[in-house]
Amino acid sequence: MNVFRLTGDLSHLAAIIILLLKIWKSRSCAGISGKSQILFAIVFTTRYLDLLTSFISIYNTSMKVIYIGCAYATVYLIYMKFRATYDGNHDSFRVEFLVVPVGGLAVLVNHDFSFLEILWTFSIYLESVAILPQLFMISKTGEAETITTHYLFCLGLYRALYLLNWIWRFYFESFFDMIAIVAGVVQTVLYCDFFYLYITKVLKGKKLSLPA
Amino acid sequence: SPELLRHDEL
């Protein structure tokens, strides 16, 4: 555990809780892509199956359980409790174009051709692109609520901090995982355009809106 | 093992 890893995890947790609270307090999931949230629920489920096979630490187990629980709670709020506010018409990204190629890649490029390892690899690849339906939705409507941009910033920051964590681990622990690193770089790059808008607009008190 | 090191990360 190093400082980048810990702040990355906390940033990830903050993102998840910001989104849950935003939906709960406003009683609305307007502007939130349900498809991205389903993809994140699949990501956590397929990655954390190791909860059943190996114990690493109390921290590790509790964070995994919290992430999975929050992911399903978010999906429940969007598709059940507040489904009347769900903006399905604008959430039109075709997720099969992500899930099918990512599944194929996980079968082809992995560390070990076993069921759990392929699911772990699938979750790493899927996480790297799971935010695309949300970004697509924002580009389609041309705007995002400020609280939604805080959510996205924390989510992007988490993977950027993990990149620093991997550099740290490479130097001080001689450990690196090429699958996680390549997917993590892809994931972080997808947020760059958003980071720019967040810093130049949202942090200066303006609403995030895209030119028509 | 490298496998456990990977599964330590979230």
What is the span of the domain harbouring residue A11?
3-202
Mean pLDDT, rounded, for A27-32: 97
Is residue A205 predicted with pLDDT exceeding 70? yes
Helices A146-173 + A192-200 axis angle, to 10: 120
Residue A212 lies in a domain: no
- Using alpha carbons, select from A18, A33, A28 the residue that is nearest to residue A140: A33
Residue of B nearest to A179 (CA): B6
- The domain tally of chain A equals 1
- The DSSP code sequence of chain A is --HHHHHHHHHHHHHHHHHHHHHHHHT--TT--HHHHHHHHHHHHHHGGGGGT----HHHHHHHHHHHHHHHHHHHIIIIITGGG--GGG----THHHHHHHHHHHHHS-SS-SHHHHHHHHHHHHHHHTTHHHHHHHHHHSEE-HHHHHHHHHHHHHHHHHHHHHHHHHHHH----HHHHHHHHHHHHHTHHHHHHHHHTGGGT--EE---
Residue A211 lies in a domain: no
Residue A100 lies in a domain: yes
A9, A173, A177 member nearest B10 (Cβ): A9
Lowest average pLDDT, out of A18-22, A43-47, A190-194, A206-210, goes to A206-210
Residue A118 lies in a domain: yes
Interface pTM (ipTM) of the complex? 0.90
Which pLDDT value is given to residue B5? 79
pLDDT tens sequence across A59-98 = 999 999 999 999 999 999 999 999 999 999 999 999 999 9
Q: What angle do CA A206, A208, A212 make, to 5 degrees?
A: 120
Residue A207 lies in a domain: no
Q: Which residues in chain A have Cβ-Cβ distances shorter than 8 Å to B1?
A: none
Cβ atoms of A178 and A125 within 8 Å: the answer is: no
Q: Which residues in chain A have Cβ-Cβ distances shorter than 8 Å to B4?
A: 54, 56
Residue A210 lies in a domain: no
